[in-house]
Amino acid sequence: MQDDFQHVNNVTYLKWFETARVNMFHGYNGFEGFMSNAGVGPIIRSVELAWRYPITYPDKITVVHKLLPLREKDRFELQGVVVSHNAKKVAARIKEVIVIVDYNKGGVKAMIPEYVFEAFNDRLQLQQELAPAAA
């Protein structure tokens, strides 16, 4: 979807981040229950989205998320980028706060399940190992 200036419509960036986040969770073994509307699962609390470069059609993009260190037991944060292949630069950045709710109890706040907490800690360790060494 394009705007009047032939740029990708702003809401499209949010859709790209949503799709990438869901795909990331589906990539974890055992997260099927976590990614359903029954039991305990994630829901977006807030997003901060900064557009850095207008993407125009045609282009290819890559969307990447990074888990931030866990600071609270009922939520987690992700940072992400959309990269334009044509421009070879970051087109948008996002910070997402995701809270955990119990869908069986009407969406009341819940704690991150232990298996999710452990998977996230493994992910954080992997991110640290793969990050370039600070100069």
Instruction: Give domain status of residue 30, yes or no.
Output: yes
Instruction: Give domain status of residue 20, yes or no.
Output: yes
> What CATH number did the domain enclosing 25 receive?
3.10.129.10
DSSP output for 80-121: EEEEETTTTEEEEEEEEEEEEEEGGGTSEE-PPPHHHHHHHH
Q: Averaged over 113-126, what is the pLDDT?
A: 93
Q: Structure pTM?
A: 0.88
pLDDT band at 135 (very low <50, low <70, confident <90, very high): very low
Residue 3 has what pLDDT?
65
- For 125, the domain range is 10-130
| Residue found under tokens 């125009």 | 56
Instruction: Give domain status of residue 70, yes or no.
Output: yes
Residue 1 has what pLDDT?
66
> What's the total number of domains in the chain?
1
Of 4 and 111, which is predicted with more confidence?
Answer: 111
Residue 2 has what pLDDT?
65
Q: Which amino acid is at 24?
A: M
Q: Give residue-wise pLDDT tens across range 73-88.
A: 999 999 999 999 999 9
CA–CA gap between residue 27 and residue 15 (Å, rounded): 18
CA–CA gap between residue 14 and residue 28 (Å, rounded): 22
Name every residue whose Cβ is closer than 8 Å to that of residue 126 and which is 6 or more positions away in sequence.
none
Q: Give residue-wise pLDDT tens across range 56-70.
A: 988 999 999 999 999
Instruction: Give domain status of residue 39, yes or no.
Output: yes
Q: At 106, phi and psi to the nearest 5?
A: 80, 20
Q: Give residue-wise pLDDT tens across range 16-57.
A: 999 999 999 988 888 888 888 788 999 999 999 999 999 998
